Structure 1
Amino acid sequence: MMSWSQVGFQDAASPVMEEFLFFHDFALVVLAFILGLVGYMMVIAVTNRSVVTGLLEGQTLEALWTALPALVLIQLAVPSLLLLYSLDEATDSQVTLKAVGHQWYWSYEYADFSSVSGEVAEFDAYMLPDGPSPSFRLLDTDNRTTLPWGCGVRVLVSSADVLHAWAVPSLGVKVDACPGRLNQVSFSSHRPGIFFGQCSEICGANHSFMPICIEMVTGGDFLAWVSALL
């Protein structure tokens, strides 16, 4: 979970989210350097007015303040673009989960698993008014979405009524749920645990009360859970 008085990102649980955190920290270092440099130059300009007012041109300085910002922007743009394309990269998935947004709950379907009679594993997930811990208030659900960690997971997201968004920050996932349209995202978790998310698109009066609760377990526990669901 988050630390520093609930300020900052949640702990990363996927390779993509780890890269996001690294890029965020790198961008903050660059920002701090730029702010420090600009602040230093402003102090120099104020405390040495006689020198600054007499400075009419400086080709070397102009070349530097053109080249250095360009290099800084390139250093920020390259990892940013790599991360952007990694979000849409199609990977081999062992499990497919379909998530459908409703006002105001989520329904899930495991299309890869069905009973002998042909019934597909599916359920609805509603918010628990009071979670087992005060830290999880308005985040836990009556039916947790269970998935295997260490495996590729593909999530198909849609909506039955209005616009929603299926988002789990720890996994670095956010997908729009649009009526009549099927969006998809792939991810994998490198550790077990329980990860919380929420609908991230204004969808009505109870928008704040349709959380997402993902429980990552081992492959064996996942198969046992699906068998019990069927």
Structure 2
Amino acid sequence: MGMLNRALMVLAGLMGFSASGPAFAGLGQPSPWQIDFQESATPIMTQITDFHNYVNIIIIAITLFVLALMIYVMVRFNEKKNPEPTRTSHNTLLEVAWTVIPIFILVAIAIPSFRLLFAQYDFPKADVSITATGAQWYWSYEYPDEGIGFDSIMVQDADLKPGQPRLLTVDNEVVVPVGANVVVGLKSNDVIHDWAVPSFGVKLDAVPGRLQQTWFRAEKEGWFYGMCSELCGRNHAFMPIAVRVVSQEEYDAWVASKKSASIDTKDKMASARD
């Protein structure tokens, strides 16, 4: 009876674990007890997830094969069953097999890997261009085609509003339209930083003295968060990235409001100088 109860408890635990699985991979931000990638919001992230699952299948198959082979060898060729050790020195067919089969496995991994790399670095025509500049310890953003620029600084715990995630909320988020090709140029003012948004499949270093580029096309509206993913000093953990994906109409209204605020600021500065 005790064994049966323990078995039922284990089964119930496994059922609960599987039932809670969807919560492990949230959209746009980490989820409690997450064990998988964040939900994909871009075509590139979808390809990354598919490639990850594909390679995992190969890894699991190889692991199970090696495990089965080891168990077979331990059972079939132990000392009790084989008091006289085998004198076999080589097997030509086996040596050819363990050379050729791994080559096929590597080719099977390399082909989709190269396709993914090509997709990541095959930049489409930009609908929106953004320059992100890393500094210790915040991000500055410019929309050169729109004449907009602002700093993005983490909101402290005491200033958070209900529903805002801790250590990820910023005072000025990046805003982009859904379905638009967004090209992001990355720079740094001091040390190496890294602009990473997991749901977009984007992760690229911002290196002093260099301009690097990445891109994404968000196919879902909402909030998407990331962090600086290169150790950049004392406040490295407090340098979040927040991107809000909205409709084209909302984006146009946001651009207009930012331009209006910029003009008001310039007028106030000019009046102060006068």
Tell me the TM-score normalised to structure 2 length.
0.77
* Unpaired stretches in structure 2, ≥5 consecutive residues: 1-25, 260-274
Q: Which amino acid aligns with 2:108?
A: Q
The within-5 A match list for 1:105-184 is 105-113=138-146, 120-130=147-157, 131-132=160-161, 136-184=165-213
Q: How many residues align?
A: 224
Return 199-208 or 47-56, whichever deviates more: 47-56
The equivalent residue for 2:56 is 28
The equivalent residue for 1:117 is none
Return 54-63 or 34-43, whichever deviates more: 54-63
> Structure 1's 216 and 110: CA in aligned 2 closer, same or farther, altered over 3 A?
same
Return 33-42 or 128-137, whichever deviates more: 128-137
The equivalent residue for 1:46 is 74
> Structure 1's 219 and 52: CA in aligned 2 closer, same or farther, altered over 3 A?
farther
Q: Does 1:96 align with 2:129?
A: yes
* Unpaired stretches in structure 1, ≥5 consecutive residues: 114-119
The equivalent residue for 1:196 is 225
The equivalent residue for 1:63 is 96
**Does the Cα contact within 8 Å between 1:45 and 1:52 map onto a contact in 2?**
no
Q: Deviations along 1:62-85, whole A, 9 cap, x unmatched?
A: 222222211111111111122122
SS of aligned partner of 1:70: helix
Alpha-carbon distance in structure 2 between the residues aligned to 1:3 and 1:143? 23
SS of aligned partner of 1:53: coil
**Does the Cα contact within 8 Å between 1:155 and 1:184 map onto a contact in 2?**
yes
- RMSD between superposed Cα atoms in Å: 1.8
Q: Deviations along 1:44-78, whole A, 9 cap, x unmatched?
A: 11111139835443222222222221111111111
Alpha-carbon distance in structure 2 between the residues aligned to 1:101 and 1:29? 38
The share of aligned pairs that are identical, in percent, is 39
Q: Whose helix fraction is larger, Structure 1's or Structure 2's?
A: 2
Tell me the TM-score normalised to structure 1 length.
0.91
Q: Which amino acid aligns with 1:83?
A: L
Alpha-carbon distance in structure 2 between the residues aligned to 1:226 and 1:142? 16
- CA displacement at 1:196 relative to structure 2: 0.5
Alpha-carbon distance in structure 1 between the residues aligned to 2:95 and 2:32? 41
SS of aligned partner of 2:93: helix
Q: Whose strand fraction is larger, Structure 1's or Structure 2's?
A: 1
